[in-house]
Amino acid sequence: MCGIVGYTGKRCCVSTLLEGLRRLEYRGYDSAGLAVVENQGLTTVKNTGKVEALKDRSAERWPDFERCEGYTGIAHTRWATHGAPSEINAHPHLDDSGKFAVVHNGIIDNYLELREHLRGQGCEFKSDTDTEVLSHLIAKCYQGDLLHAVAAALNKVKGTFGLAVVCSEHPDKIVIARRGSPIVIGVGNDETLVASDISAIASYTKRVIFLDDDDMALITPGSIEIRNIENVPVSREIAQIDWDVSAAEKNGYEHFMLKEIFEQPQAVENTIRGRLDKSAATAVLNGLNLEPREMAMINRIVIAACGTSMNAGLVGEYFFEDIAGIPTDVEQAAEFRYRNPIIEPNTMVLAVSQSGETADTLAAVREAKNKGAIVAGLNNVVGSTIARETGRGIYLHAGPEIGVASTKAFTCQVSALLMMAVLFGRGRRMNRTDGENLINEIQQVPNLIQQVLDRAPEIEKIAIKYAKAEDFFFIGRGCMYPTALEGALKLKEISYIHAEGYHAAELKHGPIALLEEKVPVVALANNIPGRDKVLANIQECAARKSPVIATATDGDADIASLVQDVIWIPECSRFVAPVPTVVALQLLSYYIARERGCEIDQPRNLAKSVTVE
């Protein structure tokens, strides 16, 4: 997804803009650019390719980044939506006079109509982007007040935006606005920053302000004036970032993804910390803001999510039904928002989203609210849009997840869903003993993960053995079915191998036609209910000469003779088993992708947070 950075303050802005873009690289992009207000004008530098190339180009203009004349500027990394990746399509975009520069995330739905209208007024368009209409529109609306000009322009716009605007006539001002694409303000000392993602500015300040949809702000080095798009003043609280900027660094790991795989014991520890009440044999999730009686009234749960978060939700479905006895459905968020879902007054809609910014999941939240559901979020990013619009929920506290392929978010989401199921169950028919047992099991999760991480070298050997395969199947039953889906998604995302996750019983209903010697099957055969049936499925695969890699529980004496390779998983119950098992699958995918020389942290075509439909 595109990234935005802006700075106005006491220091020359170029190095801050470039550093901010570097921290946003993980989001995926194809070109980058910046604009600096200096010498009564705007200087822009843009190029396709990496931020490093932009830095080199900028060095040609400013040989010493610390001694430039510009103290206000904006910058952008572009993930092409309208117009191919090119220097001319890279942001910032300027108006004809060169006085206004705009960087923009989102999609202007009525840009063609606006472009024709502006062309009729003599504007000359240089790019194929929708964004360029904004720079010309703002210029046309400008009568001396930058905030008013941007407000007037945005009132003509349909679509989504997170944007920042600078003007050569206002060397210490940036105007920002958001509708459907996040923008956060960093509150510094005699300096103010803006970004589309906290990680771009966390090294400069931990005090941030999240804009809501249709908020705008005029920022200067020492002031922040927030209004809505109707020009009415609004107040937004200053939030405190709860993690250190080093958490957004690789800290010696080759890739962010590997770091985030290995930090899962700590991440899950953070998710469960302070939320297990052994004396009452239940979980404590005050962020849900639900009284026990309100919780007891919930008679159906709908989980709305995308991608990995949906796979976590599919695991949670088993928890809510098996542990808490609550009918539960998992909906692809994109489908939920359009299919006129049935929502009753006692339905809870749970939006699972690591970033809290996924457009389809956010839209599902809004649809659920319109239908009167009890809405809650399960998010990792504090202050994210979904977290704020649900108004209640559970934060993962997993720290920033930079790798595009989600890892610790999944294990923390599953752990949080398990705690939620215990809480709901203990408010219903779950007895104290069962509650205590599950609480004890949840407490063991970080240790179980660590045991699998300690086996990484064995998993790496297996990965290298199968790295040349072009097709994989992942199969499982019960909670291990969505775990298989997640394993397949990981492999697809980072190794570009075609991998399918399937319920083990489904193979014989068609997919088994694809099995042959060059198609490995990863079978999740942990020693939990359904294992014997998975063993039978393994035999079916072996009969078609597919090599089988099984995950199996330590001490399983039968498995080795049935399969080519075994990934050993420590003993644990069927509820907890998805977590250590998925860590093994994350490692398997990582080592295969690395063996294939793939770009692991920023896989082709992918973005970390899909903030467009």
Contact set with ligand AGP (CB under 6 A): 306-309, 353-355, 358, 361, 404-406, 493, 609-610
Comparing CB distances to ligand AGP, the nearer of 151 and 610 is 610
Comparing every residue's Cβ against ligand AGP, the nearest one is 307
DSSP sequence for 565-584: EEEEE----TTTTHHHHHHH
Cis omega before residue 92 (within 30°)?
yes
**Residue located via tokens 């396709």:** 48
608 a catalytic residue? yes
Closest approach of Cβ 202 to ligand AGP, in Å?
A: 18
Contact 343, 371 (CB under 8 A): yes
SS3 478: coil
Tokens coding 453:
């991480």
Contact 160, 196 (CB under 8 A): no
Comparing CB distances to ligand AGP, the nearer of 81 and 573 is 81
Closest approach of Cβ 328 to ligand AGP, in Å?
A: 19
**Among 286, 319, 268, 276, which residue's Cα sits nearest to residue 436?**
276
Comparing CB distances to ligand AGP, the nearer of 95 and 360 is 360
d(CA 386, CA 389): 5
Closest approach of Cβ 275 to ligand AGP, in Å?
A: 20
Comparing CB distances to ligand AGP, the nearer of 168 and 308 is 308
Closest approach of Cβ 97 to ligand AGP, in Å?
A: 39
Comparing CB distances to ligand AGP, the nearer of 135 and 311 is 311
d(CA 248, CA 251): 9
What is the dihedral angle through the alpha carbons of 463, 580, 411, 503, rounded to the nearest 10 degrees? 70
Closest approach of Cβ 71 to ligand AGP, in Å?
A: 34
d(CA 415, CA 316): 9
Comparing CB distances to ligand AGP, the nearer of 72 and 361 is 361
Q: Catalytic: which of 2, 12, 13, 123?
A: 2
Comparing CB distances to ligand AGP, the nearer of 271 and 354 is 354
Burial bucket for residue 236 (CB in 10 Å: 0-12, 13-18, 19+): middle
Closest approach of Cβ 493 to ligand AGP, in Å?
A: 5
Comparing CB distances to ligand AGP, the nearer of 309 and 546 is 309
Closest approach of Cβ 270 to ligand AGP, in Å?
A: 17
The amino acid that residue 291 corresponds to is E
SS3 487: helix
d(CA 149, CA 93): 16
Closest approach of Cβ 94 to ligand AGP, in Å?
A: 33
H/E segment holding residue 420: helix 408-426
306 a catalytic residue? no
Closest approach of Cβ 3 to ligand AGP, in Å?
A: 15
Tokens coding 436:
């205590």
User: Nearest 5°: phi and psi at 506?
Assistant: -80, -20
Distances (CA, A) of 51 to 131, 413, 551: 20, 32, 41
Q: β-pairing, 548-553 with 565-569? A: parallel
**Among 406, 400, 236, 225, which residue's Cα sits nearest to residue 311?**
406
Comparing CB distances to ligand AGP, the nearer of 366 and 533 is 366
Q: Catalytic: which of 99, 490, 492, 608?
A: 608
d(CA 86, CA 134): 19
**Ramachandran bin of 501, using left for φ above 0, alpha for ψ from -120 to 50, beta for the remaining angles:** beta
Would you name the residues annotated as active-site residues?
A: 2, 608
